[in-house]
Structure 1
Amino acid sequence: MPEINEAKLDAIINMMTTFMEEFRDGNPKEEIENFVKTHLKLDIKMKKAYAIGERACILEMDNFADKKCILENKKKLNNIVGPRVYIDNDLTPNERKIQKVIKIKANEEKTNGNKVKIGYRKLFINDKRFIWCDERNMLIEATHVPKN
């Protein structure tokens, strides 16, 4: 398990097995850099890339700005014809649990007709900002907390 600071520079790519076979056959780092360049139109260099399981890769970035750039442009992957590809943050198990709770709440609110947007440890519902409170282990409305 990577240290928390190292994980801040990592991203995870989840993809169909057919794409993963292409990455395994060649140099995964080079293949993924080409994939990002082709589909996200970004020229980003990675420290390394390696497979974790049959459908996922970890990308280790040189700096946070490159990771942020990839995550901001991942919506371009919706235009790919063929198997789906997803890019997400590499989170610790606890962070994954928190994000899962936030996603469940977001889906409930969306079903009720509200406009929602999910962020890291936060949720926006109809332009109201809610943040994750570790002490209460729940989302609370951020009325006096400055925005990040």
Structure 2
Amino acid sequence: MREEIKTLRKELAAMREENGELRKELVTVREEMRRREEKGQVEKADWTKRMKMIEEKMEQREKKERKNNVIITGIGAKSGNIERGMEEWLGREIGVKVNVKEAFKINKDKMMLAKIESWEQKKNILLNKSKLKEKEDERMYIDDDLTKEEREIQKKLRELAREERNKGKRVKIGYRKIQINGEWFRWDEREEKLKKIF
């Protein structure tokens, strides 16, 4: 198990190094663009397209890195073997048996990030997370580990959901989509607005 964790940490370090290299390339492109812009030689569309492509590549890598992760809020601190503690907690609280590759505290002691062994196990966690609503004494949540862009979109959807609920409408939120009175809408990144899903 320790060898697997070492391997995972090496892979994670390699991915972070690649992202660092992409960030450096993006900075270089921006600096080059500024220099050329000053000289009046820039074809801005080409440079903007290149920067957008690098940013999208970084976003895709980050999504891949976070694919099997969940964020658990309100769980409190675990001592000892954190991974085993998370596995036991998930089994006890939501009735799901999973293998946690790695787990650690984020945001002091109230939030934990857990790297789940497989996508199927993560999906099972997300399907059963509603069992936490039955816990009246504690407020605990399980969510996807989202990238910054994804978190911003979900935040916009939550704000919209709150507004629509205040108008008396029935609302459900999904990943990059929202259901209002039985009709589904998806967030369009280019236009930055909701579009009805047919």
TM-score normalised by the chain length of structure 2 = 0.66
More helix by share: 2
Residue 121 of structure 2 aligns to a residue whose secondary structure is: helix
Indicate the residue corresponding to 1:132 in structure 2. Answer: 187
Query: Which amino acid in 2 is paired with 1:4?
Result: K
Q: Which moved more, 1:73-82 or 1:108-117?
A: 73-82
Q: Please say which of residues 72-81 and 124-133 is displaced more in the overlay.
A: 72-81
CA distance in 1: counterparts of 2:125 and 2:105, whole angstroms: 18
Report percent identity of matched pairs. Answer: 34
> 1:5 maps to which residue?
64
Q: After TM superposition, give the deviation of residue 86 of structure 1 in Å.
A: 1.0
Q: Deviations over 1:120-139 (max 9, x none)?
A: 00001111110010110111
- The answer on 1:79 being equivalent to 2:134 is yes
Structure of higher CA gyration radius? 2
**Match for 1:50 among 88, 93, 104?**
104
Structure 1 residue corresponding to 2:74, chosen from 11, 15, 19: 15
What amino acid does structure 1 have at the position aligned with 2:66? A
Q: Distance in 1 between matches of 2:172 and 2:123?
A: 17
* Aligned counterparts of 1:35 and 1:58: Cα–Cα separation in 2: 13
User: How many angstroms apart in 1 are the aligned matches of 2:158 and 2:107?
Assistant: 24
Q: Would you say how many aligned residue pairs link Structure 1 and Structure 2?
A: 138
Structure 2: unaligned runs, 5 residues or longer: 1-15, 17-60
Structure with greater strand share of residues: 1
Per-residue deviation, 1:81: 4.8
Paired residue secondary structure (2:113): strand
For structure 1, the residue ranges without an aligned partner over 5 or more in a row are 144-148
Q: What's the TM-score once normalised by structure 1's chain length?
A: 0.87
Distance, in Å, in 1 between the alignment partners of 2:183 and 2:140 is 31
Q: Deviations over 1:8-27 (max 9, x none)?
A: 111101115xx21xx0x211
Computed over aligned residues only, the root mean square deviation of the Cα atoms, in angstroms, reads 1.5
- Say which is worse superposed, 61-70 or 2-11, in terms of deviation: 2-11
Q: Compare relative contact order (CA 8 Å, sep 6+) and give the higher one, 1 or 2.
A: 1
